[in-house]
């Protein structure tokens, strides 16, 4: 179009320019833009740094061109000001621009970093006459029809603003955003130099859009009427079904689809009477509900659960105890006492099939075979086996299920396990029962009381199922590393079977019989020419593992087989396979550097140091208790990251020695004028438990009597203030730990003499065990005689010379 000539009042300015695609900015309009091109971003930032925040928006002729030049733009654009600006996470700018006036682009003054153009104001004359007023009124009248046809948010407010606008040209420019016009027509409206012609074109376009909206509205109304008719027919049919059901006519009609299938399954299923009644009632509810109803799917899922549960399905037990014993011996080496107790329980079930199934709790360190023992029992009895891990369980609903009133409700883990098993008498293993949590969502341990109690679980009710299910035929086997964290009421309902740690010889047998063949099979090496030197597995046990069980040992053997598999897989296929021999010398290459140095007892024990034995969840360990006098002090200091029970043992040991100072030949002034410090090394490891009293008393007595403790002796036991030595637990694990480091002399409480039968014969035959009932007896057993004659005369704890320099002190206290 021809550009009007400039007048002497025409303003010419240089401004940043932003090219835009597929849209046109008009004066008196507020339009949001997303600016992403680097030159355009630079132009906007330059405008924001100017005083008036002004710039020019011009439309591209070709919208596909990414970097338009000056000649690629229409000659007339719009001067605008930036009202708001923000940045998006991808680095683009969100700009709200308000058009001010039309401008003519004269020439380009700058191209980088952004385009600057010289532009001239292009005013549009607006002379008021009757024709202009008539066009304005007609346009306003058409605008009034928009709220009836448009449901767009804010259209009512926009119409109110447009009808109140006195400038007809501003009304026309603002209406353009509602019209479906292409870029060429929009640019033509911007370039139009006659205001009346602008109003005529906008009026025509608006009338066309309103006509299309009316047609669309009629089509939508007809479709809505059809939908309303279908819904009305559907509700009438539902009412008809209800009437037929009240009259007893509905049940005589043949049923099809999923409802008919569910009805047939309910009639065929072997369900208790109370369950069949509830299932039939829920089925009647399902018939009344439309398939689109949320409750339809809930009831359908509930009925499927009811039909899939083994209400009366039992698997036949094969209670051939000889066969069971054979299976247990095949799967597990040693642990004869544990096997005998399991066979005792099964013998009762054989003689009295109606007896309640036992609830066994297998307690022991990790890796001793608790879970696999449950699997062996299931295999021997030919029962179904399911396993649930309770470690870290906090939500009671995980066991009892959620009520069906909640969205996404599900049955509890117990019912789901029985559903998977397909029998009401499976072996159900509840792993890590000692690690059950408790918080605001309930107490799962309390829920286990009903599940495991034979007097209650024959009518167990899951919250989701809400029907009594008989759990009395389920054989529950729980596992735990420690009994300390299990609630007493829950522990009372279980029969505890302890699995201790394995000796070196037992680990070797287990590795040779089970672990190594299993790992060879898993790695596909059974038929490969592979030889394992005899000393390899013992070396792995000593230098690469330190545990009570065999889990780390199995992991190391698995790593070894994987290394071998990799080497054999990389062997050239065109060459014959060579036999491979793994030797002890090769282990650092296959398994890395040795993780543990050989455990050895201390060669010498200074005054005030005693060797104790401790029990942990991962097996036994040997701890050294060290003591020292603090001249000028008065308090007892205890360090080594020890708990309350061990601190009480230390205080009891000190109090006992103080109270018996005269009979022991101790100077009471030492207690009054000196502090004492007891330390248990490896302070980063938490230590607690009632078994360190004898060790602490021996360490303090050695310090005060200036008599060293025997270096070949390890001890355990708790003490009382009256001088009694009290029994402790974990004897097997403690003795195995002492034997592992080379200690062959053990001091135990007399009451623990019965626990020696749990120690393997190969270990027990190498030990010299001293049983004590009092602290005095313990001190005689662990303290060395002293060659210092003066000390002998001062200290009544002495005896006549004997043949060994480590002869214990024998005498009367």
| 171 annotated binding-site participant | no
Q: Which residues contact 678 (CB under 8 A, 6 or more apart)?
A: 625, 626, 627, 636, 637, 638, 639, 650, 696, 699, 700
Active site residue 79: no
Residue 643: CB atoms within 10 A of its CB come to 11
Residue of 472, 691, 698, 808 marked active site: 691
- In 599-641 the beta strands, taken as DSSP E runs, fall at 609-616, 619-631, 636-639
- Reduced to 3 states (helix: H, G, I; strand: E, B; else coil), residue 474 is coil
In angstroms, how far is CA 361 from the centroid of its own chain? Answer: 26
Active site residue 634: no
| 366 annotated binding-site participant | yes
Q: How far is CA 224 from CA 221, 231, 458, in A?
A: 5, 10, 57
Residue of 196, 507, 687, 734 marked active site: 734
* Ordered strands of the 619-631 beta sheet: 636-639, 674-679, 619-631, 609-616, 713-715, 745-749, 768-772
Distance of alpha carbon 434 from alpha carbon 480, whole angstroms: 5
DSSP string for residues in 75-144: SEEEEEEEEEEEE-TTS-EEEEEEEEEEEEEEEEEE-SSS-EEEEEE--------HHHHHHHHHHHHHHT
| 799 annotated binding-site participant | no
Angle between helical axes of 155-164 and 168-175 (0-180°, round to 10): 160
Tokens of 348: 């009762």
Distance of alpha carbon 531 from alpha carbon 535, whole angstroms: 12
Question: How does DSSP classify residue 582?
Answer: E
Cβ atoms of residues 20 and 32 within 8 Å: no
Q: Are strands 619-631 and 674-679 parallel, antiparallel or unpaired?
A: antiparallel
| 367 annotated binding-site participant | yes
Tokens of 493: 């309902």
| 364 annotated binding-site participant | yes
Cβ atoms of residues 678 and 626 within 8 Å: yes
| 368 annotated binding-site participant | yes
Distance of alpha carbon 490 from alpha carbon 296, whole angstroms: 40
Tokens of 108: 């380009």
- Reduced to 3 states (helix: H, G, I; strand: E, B; else coil), residue 330 is helix
| Residue list, annotated binding site for ATP | 364-371
| Residue list, annotated binding site | 364-371
Q: List, by residue number, the catalytic residues.
A: 691, 734
């Amino acid at each position: 179009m021809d550009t009007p000539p400039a007048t002497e009042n025409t303003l010419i300015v240089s401004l940043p320019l932003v090219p835009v695609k597929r849209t046109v900015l008009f004066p008196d309009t507020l339009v949001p833009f997303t600016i992403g091109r680097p030159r355009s971003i630079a132009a906007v930032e330059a405008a924001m740094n100017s005083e008036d925040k002004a710039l020019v928006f011009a439309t591209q002729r070709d919208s596909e061109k990414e970097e338009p030049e000056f000649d690629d733009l229409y000659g007339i654009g719009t001067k605008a000001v930036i009202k708001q600006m923000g940045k998006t996470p991808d680095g683009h700018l969100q700009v709200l621009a308000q058009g001010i006036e039309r401008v003519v682009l004269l020439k380009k003054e700058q191209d980088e970093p952004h385009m600057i153009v010289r532009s001239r104001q292009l005013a549009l004359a607006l002379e008021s006459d009757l024709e202009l007023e008539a066009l304005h009124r007609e346009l306003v009248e058409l605008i009034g029809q928009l709220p009836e046809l448009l449901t767009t948010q804010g259209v009512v407010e926009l119409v109110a603003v447009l009808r109140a606008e006195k400038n007809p040209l501003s009304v026309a420019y603002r209406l353009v955003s509602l019209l479906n016009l292409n870029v060429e027509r929009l640019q033509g409206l911007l370039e139009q130099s006659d205001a009346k012609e602008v109003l005529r074109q906008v009026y025509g376009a608006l009338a066309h859009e309103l006509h299309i909206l009316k047609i669309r509205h009629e089509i939508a109304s007809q479709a809505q009427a059809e939908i309303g008719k279908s819904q009305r027919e559907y509700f009438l049919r539902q009412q008809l079904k209800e009437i037929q059901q009240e009259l007893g006519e509905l049940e005589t009609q043949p049923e099809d689809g999923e409802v008919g299938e569910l009805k047939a399954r309910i009639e065929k299923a072997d369900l208790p009477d109370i369950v069949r009644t509830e299932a039939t009632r829920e089925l009647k509810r399902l018939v009344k509900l439309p398939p689109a109803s949320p409750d339809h799917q809930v009831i359908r899922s509930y009925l499927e659960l009811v039909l899939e549960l083994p209400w009366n399905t039992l698997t036949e037990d094969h209670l051939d105890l000889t066969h069971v014993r054979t299976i247990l011996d095949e799967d597990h080496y040693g642990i004869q006492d544990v096997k005998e107790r399991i066979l005792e329980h099964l013998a009762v079930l054989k003689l009295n099939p109606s007896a309640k199934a036992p609830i066994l709790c297998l307690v022991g360190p990790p890796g001793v075979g608790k879970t696999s023992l449950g699997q062996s029992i299931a295999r021997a009895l030919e029962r179904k086996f399911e396993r649930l891990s309770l470690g870290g369980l906090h939500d009671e609903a995980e066991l009892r299920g959620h009520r069906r009133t909640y969205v996404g409700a599900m049955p509890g883990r117990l019912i789901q396990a029985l559903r998977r098993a397909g029998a009401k008498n499976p072996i159900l293993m509840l792993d890590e029962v000692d690690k059950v949590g408790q918080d605001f969502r309930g107490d799962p341990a309390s829920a286990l009381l009903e599940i495991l109690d034979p007097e209650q679980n024959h009518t167990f009710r899951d919250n989701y199922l809400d029907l009594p299910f008989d759990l009395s035929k389920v054989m529950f086997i729980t596992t735990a590393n420690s009994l300390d964290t299990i609630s007493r009421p829950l522990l009372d309902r279980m029969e505890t079977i302890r699995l201790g740690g394995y000796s070196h010889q037992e680990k070797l047998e287990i590795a040779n019989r089970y672990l190594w063949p299993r790992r060879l099979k898993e790695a596909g090496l059974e038929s490969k020419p592979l030889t394992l030197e005899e000393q390899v597995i013992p070396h792995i046990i000593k230098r690469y593992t330190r545990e009570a069980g065999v889990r780390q040992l199995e992991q190391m053997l698995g790593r070894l087989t994987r290394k071998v598999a990799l080497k054999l897989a990389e062997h050239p296929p065109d060459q014959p396979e060579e036999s491979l021999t793994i030797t002890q010398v090769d282990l650092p290459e296959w398994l890395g550097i040795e993780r543990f140095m050989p455990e050895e007892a201390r060669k010498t024990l200074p005054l005030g140091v005693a060797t104790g034995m401790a029990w942990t969840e991962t097996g036994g360990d040997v701890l050294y208790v060290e003591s020292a006098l603090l001249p000028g002090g008065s308090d007892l200091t205890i360090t080594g990251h020890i708990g309350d029970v061990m601190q009480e043992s230390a205080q009891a040991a000190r109090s006992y020695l103080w109270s018996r100072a005269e009979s022991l030949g101790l100077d009471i002034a030492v207690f009054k004028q000196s502090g004492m410090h007891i330390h248990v090394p490896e302070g980063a490891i938490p230590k607690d438990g009632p078994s360190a009293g004898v060790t602490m008393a021996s360490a303090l007595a050695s310090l005060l009597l200036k008599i060293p403790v025997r270096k070949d002796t390890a001890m355990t036991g708790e003490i009382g203030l009256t001088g009694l030595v009290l029994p402790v637990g974990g004897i097997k694990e403690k003795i195995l730990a002492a034997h592992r480091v080379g200690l062959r002399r053990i001091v135990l409480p007399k009451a623990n003499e019965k626990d020696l039968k749990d120690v393997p014969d190969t270990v027990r035959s190498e030990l010299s065990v001293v049983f004590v009932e009092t602290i005095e007896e313990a001190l005689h057993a662990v303290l060395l005689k002293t060659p210092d004659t003066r000390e002998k005369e001062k200290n009544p704890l002495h005896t006549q010379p004997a043949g060994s320099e480590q002869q214990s002190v024998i005498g009367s206290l």
